[in-house]
Each structure stands twice: as C-alpha cells, then as structure tokens.
Structure 1
Amino acid sequence: MDRFVIILAAGQGTRMKSKLYKVLHPVCGKSMVNHVVSAAEELQPEKIITIVGFGAEKVQAELGDRVTYVLQEQQLGTGHAVLQTKSLLEGQTGTTVVLSGDAPLLTAGTIENLFADHQKYQRGATILTALAENPTGYGRIVRDEAGAVEKIVEQKDADEKIAAIHEVNTGTYCFDNELLFEALKEINTENAQGEYYLTDIIEILKKQNKAVGAMVMEDFSESMGVNDRLALAEATSVMQRRINNEHMKNGVTMIDPQHTYIDIDVTIGSDTVIEGGVTLKGQTKIGADCLITTGSALENAMIEDGVVVRSSAIEDSIVRKNADVGPFAHLRPQSDIGEHVHIGNFVEVKKSTVDTGTKIGHLTYVGDATLGKNINIGCGTIFVNYDGKNKHHTNVGDNVFIGCNANLVAPLSIGENAFIAAGSTITKDVPAAAMAIARSRQENKLDYAKKLPYQQ
C-alpha cells in the first residue's frame, strides 16, 4: 500500500512575534519543519508534500529537494491547505498521513504505529490523539457510549461538557487517500473561525458509514505544537532531554544532563565524559574516552578518541587523538590539531595545521600556518599573518624551538631544528638548524635611574 505524507507549514505564526517564519525556528540544531520532514523520511513514503505559504522561499531553501512543495496562497484553514494537494494526490490509492510542520517532537515510531493501527482496522480515517492533563486549546475527541469516535470539536466551538474532555486531537491523521479527497468536497466554513477545518472530514466520513477511529499516543510530549516562544522553549527542553538520554544509553557520561546542550545531529563515542554547561552544536562528532569540561562550546567540530577539551571554543576544526585543548583556548575554522598536541590557555588557532607532539602553551596566536612535529612555541608568540589587505602563510619545520614573545611576520619559512630567540621579530626565512635573533642589543646606563623624576 502506497504511503503519502502531507506536512502543513503555511501559517505565518504571528504569536512567535518574530521576523523568522514559524516553522523555521530551531529546536536543538534543526528547524521545526526539518524535524518533521526527517521523521517522515524514515517512513519511506511515495511522496512528501509540504504546504507552504508565508515565507515559502525560505522553507524551500531549508528543505531543498527532499519534498514536493504546494503553495497555499490564502490561509483558509487546514482543510483548505490539504485541498491544495489535489492535483498531486486525488485518485491515488493508498494511505495519507497529515502532519503539522510546527510539531517537531513527533517521532517516526509513533507515525509508523499510526499507519499500522489504521491498516489493521481498515479505517477511512484514524486520528492520533493524546490524553492531556490540561486540554485547553486543543480540539476534543468526542466519543459515543460505546467508545467510538463521533467527531472532533475545536476549543472555540466547545460547550462546557465537551471542554471537560481530556482526550485531545494532536493534529496528526491517517486517511484512506481516495476517501479523503471525496470528503474534502463537502467541507464548509460554518464554525467560529470561518475556516475549512480538516477535522470536519471525520463527521463526513461517519455519515458515509466509513470506519473512523483514534489511536492514543503513549508519550503526550510528542503531541506538542509550537505557537509561541514559551512552547518553543518547552519543546527544546523535551528534545534536549530526549537527545541526552539517548547518548547516556549509548555509554556517554553526563555530569549534569539538565545543563548540557546537544544538537540532534551530534555524535559521541562511549566512555566520553561531558560536564555540565557544555554546548555541542551542528555536526559535531566526538570520539570515545574524551573529556569535555564545563564551559566548552563546540560547533561542527571533529574530536577524535582520547581528547581533552577544557573550557574552550572549537568551530569547524579537527582535534586528533590524545590531544588536549585549553583551558580558555579558541580553535577557529579550518584548524587541524594533530595527535598528542597541547593547546594551552588563551591560545587562538585559525586556519592552521599543527602536527604531532607540538606544544603551544599559552597566550599565543597562530593564524594561517603549517606547523611540523614536536615544536615548542613560547608564551606570547604571535604569527603576524595580516598586512591590512591580504593574509600570508607561515611554515615551521619539525623540532623548532620558538622563544617567548616572538613575532613571526608572514610570509615566512622556518627550517627544521631552528631556534628563535625570545623577544625576536622575525621577518626573513630561517634556515634549518639556525638560531635567529632579531632584537635590540641591551645597554645598561650605570646610575642613570637616580636622575629620573620618580627618584627625585
């Protein structure tokens, strides 16, 4: 049986009070609608159709060619939105699931269970429902004395008796596709909102003596729709807890998971320890047996096995096996830190390669450079890479010793086993095994200090 997915993503989301289109607000590193599409893709449907309206171009830029787009020029309700897919789906044999683009917590497993329940009982429609402790704002599921679904009543259309019902509509449905499009011809706007409700399909199918049912989801949090910043924060909290729990089940130690912030696409190896106050974003990948301490922020970082990162920031860079970074270091994009390298406190590295065993202890800037093996870089060293218009490169060979407070003015090449004297400003290439000194010669003026004003 063919499967089709319709994602409703045309609403503007005025309650978000944002310039950003509602379904594009991020939850743990991925936009809400992207979460929904990812869940739908796991079902391997024949088509995923996304209904767009306000901000259509930005949604298309976000999702690319993963889905087919249909424009709802006027937002006249959920029923009207689904009707826009008529040219793509009408007359097709199969099952159509309708999802909300602002419900990022719904899992592929729950949608799969909904499909299975719908097929098992050969229904015309199956509603995904939830039991809400506080049902305010949700459409209520009205059942008859035998427990069969009669209809869905929206909050604004509910009387006191119906408002007291705790089983609510989650906005997710399964339909027999052919019956869906036949029923869409009969919906109208006779309701408090003056809109075409998709929920009216239920009553229409009931009148046609088609089987209609509901499946109650196990985890109410999956039903959450995001309409404002409060709900966005709550959804993010739920997703974060889900992500962290999964990592811990897979062998990651989290000292304070409530204050550990990990995006959904981050991967972490077993026996790695993540302290509280750590943020891991984007496509960050962390190997096994690592330690990431409080205050570290990693984005699109590749961290190999056995690495220690102490209270440091790493962006779009690689740190290889058994290296250590920090505290208070900053690896900027395109940095490649080799095995057993030490990057110490207040060191900044940008667009540079640092080979095995090299030590950059503290208070140093390395930019646009290629560093060999087993180099020692003294405190306060600056790779002077920018002339005000262009960036220039520095190459440093293996086993070089660079003294404290050296300025290396690029373009520059320093040969293997060379020695740079402390306090030098190096502007010319240094041959292998040479010692370079570039500083003024010290001269002592005996008893001169007695003549200075502060001594008077």
Structure 2
Amino acid sequence: MSIDVVILAAGQGSRMRSQKPKVLHELAGKPMVRHVIESAMKAFSSPRLHVVVGHGADQVQAALSDLPINFAHQHEQRGTGHAVSQTLEALGNGPVVVLYGDVPMIQAPTLSALVERVDEQHMALLTVTMANPHGYGRIVRNDQGQAVAIVEQKDASAEQLEIGECNTGILAATGDQLRRWLPALSSDNAQGEYYLTDIIAMAASEGIEVATAEPALVSEVQGVNDRVQLSALERIHQSHEAERLMREGASLADPKRLDVRGELSVGQDVFIDVGCIFEGRVHLGNGVHVGPYSIIRDASIGDATRIEAHSMVEGSETAGDNAIGPFARLRPGTRLEKKARIGNFVETKKAHVGEGSKINHLSYIGDATLGKGVNIGAGTITCNYDGVNKHRTEVGHNVFIGSNSALVAPVTIGDGATVAAGSTVTDTVEDQALAIARARQINKQGWTPPHRK
C-alpha cells in the first residue's frame, strides 16, 4: 500500500531568534525535520515524502537535497490546513500522514499504529492526555465517546478548557478524504487561519469515524518553539539513549553527561566515561573503555580497546586490544591492527598500523603503512605532502624509527631496518640496514651567546 507523508516545515520560528529555519535546528546533531523524515521512513516502506516549505525554503531544500522529497511551497502562512492543501495535487488516494518538522521525537511504531486505522470509513488522530493542557487544542467527544471536534485554546469555552485530552496535530486520512475536506475549510476563527483540525468535525458530519491513539511517551509529540524547549528535548533524547546503552551492556560513568549524535551500538562490558560525544555510526566492541571527553565519529572500535581521555577518533577502525591516547587523534582512513598503540599527542591519517606497532609520543603519521612490530620514536613525522600531491610512506616489519626523524615520502623502509634519531630520510632504506641521515655535529669553543644591549 502506497503511503504519502506530509511534513509541515514552512514556519519562520521567530522565537528561535535565528537566521536559520526552525526545522533545521539540530537535535542530537541532526536537523529536527530529518528526525521526522527518518521515523516516517522506518515506519513505512518507500513512502512518498512531501515537505511543505515557506520561510527559508532554499535552506531547507538544500539540507534535504539527498532525499527523494517533493517540496511544496506555502507562500503565505495561512494555517496548517492551508499548508497541507499545497500538496493535494501530488497526493495519492491512499493513506496520508501529516507530521510536523518541529516535532522531532515522533517514533515509527506510533506512526505505523496510526495508519493501520485509516480507510474509506475511518481517519485517525494522535492525541495525548496532559495534566497541564494549556496551549493545546482540546479533543471534544460525543456521548458515545467518539472524537467529533478539536477546539483550539483561543476558541475554547471555559468548559472545554477543562478537557485534558489534547490534539497533537498528527493525523492520518486518505487522499480522497483530504481532497474533499481541505477546500471546505473556513478561516472564521480567532486566528483567521485555516485549521487542519477542523476536518475532524467534517469527518464526524459524514459519519466517518475518527479513531484515536496515543504515543508511548509524551515526548514523542512535544514541539519546539524556542531554544529552551529544544534543549529540554535534547536531554530527553540523550536520557533515552543512555538507558538503551546501559540495557545493551554499557556502563556509563554519568548517564547525564553523554551525547549520542548518530547511531551508537555497543557490545558487552563497555565503559564510557563522562563528557564523551559519539557522532555518525559508531560501534564499540566488547570490553571497550572510552576515557573522559573523547569524541568518536564514524568509527568501529575493536574488542578490549582502551581510548584514554581527550582523544578523537574519526573515520577509523581498530582491530582490538588497542591503546589510544590520551590526547590522540585518529583521522579518517586509519586502521589499527591488534595490539597497535597510539600514544599522547599523536595524529594519524590514512595510516595502516600493523599488529603490535607503537607510535607513542608526539608524532604525525599520514598516508603510511606500518608493518608488524614497528616502533616510531617521539617527534617522528611522515612528510607526505609536497605542496601539490600526497605521497605514501611504506615501513616494513620490526622497524625502529629513532626520535625526531622525518620520513620524506615517497619512501620505503625495509624490514628490520633502523633509522637513527634526528634523521631526515629521503631514500629507500634496505632490510636490516641502519640509516643515519643527519649533519655532522660541530662544536665551537669560546662562543659568546647573544645578549641584551
């Protein structure tokens, strides 16, 4: 069954005090509207996506340019009913779900359950019961308990204001139903707008039953009007992530000081210290230890690896039983084989570090392949860039590179070779050879050092 998903994203969001459209403000490192789209795509198989844009339309379209979306323009802000009507020509006859780009925590199971209730004789409405319903439209039911209308806060009577069941704005109907009802909407209300919610009364008048459902959590339907509300949802989202991780086998030093900004999966007996940030797709294997204030982005960390404090691992992979940091940076394209070690203030990029190899201090290793059992001395760098092109450094097995050496790529260091400290290596070093590439020391007796005048 083909399903249309309409997402309203045309509002200005003036209370955000921002040049950026409200729906592009980020929750867990991702624009709010993208959270909504991803939930819809999880709930339905190949839905047709329609995003209604208005203020900042170019920015919204650019941010979602990688997705198969039909963008509809609402040039005048005349209410939610008017917004949905901009998509009518593109809708099919089957179920249509209306969502909101600033309600980012809606979940796929909630949407699936809602759509199941929709057919020619039924539409569906997502409601929520709140202790303090101020600001929400109220659900009006008849004597048989059927939902027959929604009354907005500003239009509600004193009796209706006492109703605790509220409208979330999220609903589902067929395309045929919407084509009948939306053109008949009236703007005769306190706001002078075309309310989408008025179609509930139209459905009731036609004898079409309005089925209602509630989300598992109130946070699923909480909208964002300002940065304070966005911050509150961020903490709710992160608390859900922390709870999930602990149930899956991770211990968190402080669940309130965790930020997951993507997809994080964990094995058993993982430990995550305070202040860590996980972005993109990250996997932590069994027994991984992540030290405080580390950032891991788009990486796979093998079993029993220890990442010490203030390290950054991006676009990298470790085979397991590795030691990283503190204050280490693994840049994209780094692969550590088992038992390889990256120490403090070491940076790697497009580096394949062999089993048991060590780069322990103050070094840069980029565009390089290191064999097994290599020792890189402190202060060593691979000079991989000639100002135009990048070149590779190839280091064989069981090589010892002395401190403060510069390996000028392209260059090859053979198996078992040794490079003396302070060398600048520009030519191939054969297997088992000792390379000494430094100027002869000269001592000048009686030399007078510079002094202040």
The TM-score, its normalising length taken from structure 1, stands at: 0.90
Which deviates further from its counterpart, 382-391 or 124-133? 382-391
Which deviates further from its counterpart, 336-345 or 9-18? 9-18
Question: Which residue identity is paired with 1:345?
Answer: N
User: Which residue of structure 1 aligns with residue 200 of structure 2?
Assistant: 202
Structure 2 distance, partners of 1:169, 1:33, is 20
Question: Which residue identity is paired with 1:85?
Answer: T
Structure 2 distance, partners of 1:175, 1:452, is 87
Structure 1 gaps, min length 5:
none
User: Which residue of structure 2 aligns with residue 265 of structure 1?
Assistant: 263
- Give aligned pairs, total: 448
User: Which residue of structure 2 aligns with residue 424 of structure 1?
Assistant: 423
CA-CA distance at 1:213 after TM superposition = 4.2
Which deviates further from its counterpart, 292-301 or 130-139? 130-139
Structure 2 gaps, min length 5:
none
Question: Which residue identity is paired with 1:189?
Answer: S
User: Which residue of structure 2 aligns with residue 360 of structure 1?
Assistant: 359
CA-CA distance at 1:330 after TM superposition = 0.7
The correspondence of residues 45-444 of structure 1 with structure 2, limited to 5 A, is 47-61=48-62, 62=64, 64-89=66-91, 92=93, 94-117=94-117, 124-144=122-142, 146-311=144-309, 312-442=311-441
Structure 1 distance, partners of 2:369, 2:450, is 48
CA-CA distance at 1:96 after TM superposition = 2.4
Structure 2 distance, partners of 1:75, 1:37, is 22
Tell me the secondary structure at the aligned position of residue 321 of structure 2.
coil
Which deviates further from its counterpart, 205-214 or 258-267? 205-214
1:26 aligns to 2:26 (yes or no): yes
User: Which residue of structure 2 aligns with residue 43 of structure 1?
Assistant: 44
CA-CA distance at 1:294 after TM superposition = 0.8
Tell me the secondary structure at the aligned position of residue 206 of structure 1.
helix
The correspondence of residues 437-452 of structure 1 with structure 2, limited to 5 A, is 437-442=436-441, 448=446
Deviations 1:42-75 (A, max 9, x none): 2226533322333444434425343433333333
Deviations 1:248-298 (A, max 9, x none): 222222222211111242222232222221111012222222111111101
Question: Which residue identity is paired with 1:318?
Answer: E
Question: Which residue identity is paired with 2:361?
Answer: H
Which deviates further from its counterpart, 195-204 or 179-188? 179-188
Change (3 A) 1:392 1:118: closer
Check conservation: 2:117, 2:211, Cα contact below 8 A: no
Structure 2 distance, partners of 1:226, 1:40, is 19
Structure 2 distance, partners of 1:117, 1:49, is 21
Tell me the secondary structure at the aligned position of residue 60 of structure 2.
helix
Change (3 A) 1:285 1:60: farther
The TM-score, its normalising length taken from structure 2, stands at: 0.90
Give me the CA root mean square deviation: 2.5
Structure 1 distance, partners of 2:391, 2:335, is 18
CA-CA distance at 1:419 after TM superposition = 0.8
Structure 1 distance, partners of 2:396, 2:105, is 52
Which deviates further from its counterpart, 14-23 or 291-300? 14-23
Tell me the secondary structure at the aligned position of residue 113 of structure 2.
helix
Tell me the secondary structure at the aligned position of residue 256 of structure 2.
helix
Question: Which residue identity is paired with 1:358?
Answer: S
Tell me the secondary structure at the aligned position of residue 87 of structure 1.
helix
Check conservation: 2:305, 2:321, Cα contact below 8 A: yes
Tell me the secondary structure at the aligned position of residue 345 of structure 2.
strand
Check conservation: 2:361, 2:378, Cα contact below 8 A: yes
Change (3 A) 1:64 1:383: closer
CA-CA distance at 1:26 after TM superposition = 2.1
Structure 1 distance, partners of 2:256, 2:65, is 30
Question: Which residue identity is paired with 1:111?
Answer: L
Which deviates further from its counterpart, 221-230 or 434-443? 434-443
Deviations 1:298-326 (A, max 9, x none): 11122222221112101122222222211
Structure 1 distance, partners of 2:325, 2:6, is 48
Check conservation: 2:262, 2:278, Cα contact below 8 A: no
Question: Which residue identity is paired with 1:101?
Answer: G
Q: Percent of aligned pairs with the same residue?
A: 43
Which 4+ stretches in 1 moved above 6 angstroms?
Answer: 451-454
Check conservation: 1:29, 1:265, Cα contact below 8 A: no
Check conservation: 2:373, 2:397, Cα contact below 8 A: yes
Change (3 A) 1:323 1:161: same
Tell me the secondary structure at the aligned position of residue 288 of structure 1.
coil
Question: Which residue identity is paired with 1:86?
Answer: L
Tell me the secondary structure at the aligned position of residue 11 of structure 1.
coil
Change (3 A) 1:133 1:264: farther
Change (3 A) 1:271 1:188: same
User: Which residue of structure 1 aligns with residue 7 of structure 2?
Assistant: 7
Structure 1 distance, partners of 2:84, 2:114, is 19
Question: Which residue identity is paired with 1:18?
Answer: S
Check conservation: 1:118, 1:125, Cα contact below 8 A: yes
Structure 2 distance, partners of 1:209, 1:436, is 91
Tell me the secondary structure at the aligned position of residue 18 of structure 1.
coil
Structure 1 distance, partners of 2:333, 2:14, is 40
Deviations 1:213-249 (A, max 9, x none): 4323331111111222112112221222222222222
Question: Which residue identity is paired with 2:228?
Answer: L
Structure 2 distance, partners of 1:240, 1:184, is 38
Question: Which residue identity is paired with 2:353?
Answer: V
Check conservation: 1:243, 1:264, Cα contact below 8 A: no
